[in-house]
Amino acid sequence: MSGIYIHIPFCKQACNYCNFHFSTSLKYKEDMLTAIGKEMSMQRGYLENTAVETIYWGGGTPSLLSADELLRLWDQLQLNFPDQALTEVTLEANPDDLNPAFLQALKHTPVNRLSIGIQSFQDQDLKYMNRAHNAQQADYAVKLAQDKGFDNISIDLIYGTPTMSHTQWKDNLQQAVALGVPHISSYALTVEPATALAHAIKKGTTKAPADQESAYQFEQLMDALDEAGYEHYEISNFAQPGRYARHNTNYWKNKPYLGLGPSAHSYNGSSRKWNIANNAVYMRSILQEGRLSFEQEQLSEKDRYNEYIMVSLRTMWGIDLDYIAGAFGNQAQQNLLEAAQRFAEKNWINITADSIKLSRQGRLFADRIASDLFLE
């Protein structure tokens, strides 16, 4: 089984914290769709003999496309990747794009899951992040999508914004739970280099997020969603029982995927490649030069080991010790168990006969623990 990710590199306006690849000019949207369609035929052999199980329209903002534009690319997907066993087709959408007409049209496409970029149900946070929607639109978008028959919905929420008190974060979580969405992804606001947020903080015109506030709000997040019956199945992801995001879970379970569009990444088990993160160069190389502009790296055994540790430790399934022994040898398993011992003594991880999993406390230190378990 495999997945396909399609990157639509356009946004209405730039959120100040964002370091994804996108352009706020839609002037070349038509050419971009033609280029992505052509890329499909260039990459048709990448997934070899695996059936496509999930498709994920991400970005950028794929909800800027019309249902007809989505269907046009969809037809080319069918043509180039006929081996499909589809269970999940997700569209990332911003609340301000979800109007009745668009949702109605979307019902006539294969999209069966929406991932809505809510981020907060409160205006002061949305303004701080320079989001294109307001609090009222956030709430309305989810209810409207549910009314139109989309029950498989994920929402994104951001915590740690300096505009949000702990009480307001609790309110955000209560509002999310009240909406009854089966899936919630939640991330701490991070200040990425070269973003508008980083510049504003440097100039002193905006307050920076504080680590201890984010850590506290992460604990509030775990408490509130646990109480509401969500499983904390990945460090930033929570689902009602069994309602995991299949596409992302396949990433975490080391399945192959193909990324289409500028900046999109692909993985086939032994190497990674990533398309150029530049719309003009991406389109020119495909449309005028008949080639794809990308970089590639072959993964060494150490790379594969470290990636497995980093990704699996973040999930509720944890590090599979049998997999480590089978893929990397008994000695690797032994070394890992020895290295992990000091975190078990702090109660940050639980070691059993077949796995290593983060404890609740350890979830606050996931990256640090993973990097300490890496092979040098």
Which residues in this chain contact ligand SF4 in the complex, by CB under 6 A? Answer: 11, 14-15, 18, 20, 22, 59-61, 94, 117
Residue 3 or 59: which CB sits closer to ligand SF4? 59
Q: Are 357 and 350 in contact (CB under 8 A)?
A: yes
What is the dihedral sign for C-alpha 123, 227, 311, 376? positive
Q: To 5 degrees, how large is the angle CA 373–CA 253–CA 74?
A: 140
Report the nearest approach of ligand SF4 to the CB of residue 86 (Å). 25
Report the nearest approach of ligand SF4 to the CB of residue 21 (Å). 8
Rounded Cα distance, 200 and 102, in Å: 35
Report the nearest approach of ligand SF4 to the CB of residue 142 (Å). 16
Residue 128 or 348: which CB sits closer to ligand SF4? 128
Residue 119 or 312: which CB sits closer to ligand SF4? 119
Report the nearest approach of ligand SF4 to the CB of residue 227 (Å). 29
Residue 260 or 321: which CB sits closer to ligand SF4? 260
Q: Are 71 and 109 in contact (CB under 8 A)?
A: yes
Report the nearest approach of ligand SF4 to the CB of residue 170 (Å). 24
Residue 129 or 179: which CB sits closer to ligand SF4? 129
Q: What is the gyration radius of the CA atoms in the chain, in angstroms?
A: 21
Whole-angstrom CA distances from 298 to 237, 271, 275, 295 are 29, 4, 15, 10
Report the nearest approach of ligand SF4 to the CB of residue 156 (Å). 9
Residue 117 or 256: which CB sits closer to ligand SF4? 117
Q: Which residue is nearest to ligand SF4 (CB)?
A: 18
Rounded Cα distance, 225 and 299, in Å: 37
Q: Residue 10 carries which DSSP code?
A: B
Residue 21 or 183: which CB sits closer to ligand SF4? 21
Residue 20 or 365: which CB sits closer to ligand SF4? 20
Rounded Cα distance, 376 and 374, in Å: 6
Rounded Cα distance, 85 and 249, in Å: 16
Rounded Cα distance, 88 and 177, in Å: 23
Residue 118 or 349: which CB sits closer to ligand SF4? 118
User: Within a 10 A sphere around the Cβ of 152, how many other Cβ atoms?
Assistant: 18
Which runs of E-coded beta strand occur in 235-371? 237-239, 257-260, 265-267, 271-275, 294-298, 319-320, 349-351, 355-358
Rounded Cα distance, 89 and 19, in Å: 25
Q: Are 11 and 21 in contact (CB under 8 A)?
A: no
Report the nearest approach of ligand SF4 to the CB of residue 130 (Å). 8
Report the nearest approach of ligand SF4 to the CB of residue 341 (Å). 40
Nearest to 224 by CA among 305, 151, 170, 285: 170
Report the nearest approach of ligand SF4 to the CB of residue 248 (Å). 16
What is the dihedral sign for C-alpha 200, 202, 207, 209? positive
